Amino acid sequence: MTAMVKAEGVHKSFGTVQVLKGIDLEVAPQEVFCLVGPSGSGKSTFLRCINHLEKINAGRLYVDGDLVGYRQQGDKLYELRDSEVALKRRDIGMVFQRFNLFPHMTAVENVMEAPVQVKGESRAVARARAEQLLDRVGLSDKAANYPSQLSGGQQQRVAIARALAMEPKLMLFDEPTSALDPELVGDVLDVMRDLASDGMTMIVVTHEMGFAREVGDALVFMDDGVVVEAGHPRDVLTNPRHERTKAFLSKVL
């Protein structure tokens, strides 16, 4: 079975700062894969490399068997054109910390936009699907509201619906609850649980250890640009082997 995501020796630097120092990991189809670790450990950068929002400096990164951002001929790698990258990025949904909704569009218009502009769907078809997706995330009554009229948790659920509108085979979540008030976190996590139970492949950068333990199939602890420890979430969280993992978990659990 082809891994949905496979990283081989992935390095990423910003100037002289090495952020990723040789990441090796695999994410199976339909797996909920959680990335945890302190701020600055490289988790979000790695996520952004998966859909080529950041270019890697060394190594190989594959999504569903295809190289991300490059094609290989013989021993050489050739960078794909922006249009080719954009085409592949359609298959990867991304939900950011800050919801990044278009402020001048209603919730339903935000969800419709990409299928109409990128896939060329008719507005009628896109609207019907957008309404279904808003219903799925519990916001059918907010379709006509603008982002400024929604709470942070509601905006994040619209952002998830917007990512799902492109029917991705992989969903990336970059700390989707960290900007939310505590009482709004549960609604967003419920939507993510629902996605997981439907078999969506998900990579989740998170500080929500309860979610990782309950929903995750695999968990990686990253620190200083490397994978320190990996395993089943319950094993890593209840019985970490590395001192660095123990020290981190003692502060967050």
Q: Which residue has the tokens 């250890």?
A: 209
Cα–Cα distance for residue pair 86/139, rounded to 1 Å: 29
Q: Is 241 exposed, middle or buried (0-12, 13-18, 19+ CB in 10 A)?
A: exposed
pLDDT in tens, 34-65: 999 999 999 999 999 999 899 999 999 999 99
pLDDT in tens, 180-220: 888 889 999 999 999 999 999 999 999 999 999 999 999 99
- Rounded to the nearest integer, the mean pLDDT of the chain is 93
Cα–Cα distance for residue pair 143/184, rounded to 1 Å: 19
Q: Is 84 exposed, middle or buried (0-12, 13-18, 19+ CB in 10 A)?
A: middle
- Phi, psi (5° rounding) for residue 246? -60, -45
pLDDT in tens, 6-42: 999 999 999 999 999 999 999 999 999 999 999 999 9
Q: Are the C-beta atoms of residues 3 and 50 closer than 8 Å to each other?
A: no
Please, what is the Cα angle at 51 between 46 and 55, to 5 degrees? 65
Closest C-alpha among 1, 59, 91, 29 to residue 227: 59
Say whether pLDDT at 87 is over 90: no
Say whether pLDDT at 236 is over 90: yes
Q: Which residue has the tokens 């910003």?
A: 14
pLDDT in tens, 126-145: 999 999 999 999 999 999 99
Closest C-alpha among 237, 232, 167, 233 to residue 195: 167
**Measured in whole angstroms, how far is the alpha carbon of residue 70 from the centre of its chain?**
21
Query: Of all residues in the chain, what percent carry a pLDDT higher than 90?
Result: 80
Q: What is the pTM of this model?
A: 0.94
- Return the bridge partners of 5, or none: 27, 63
Q: For the chain, how far is it from start to end, CA to CA, in angstroms?
A: 35
Instruction: Give pLDDT, residue 1.
Output: 79
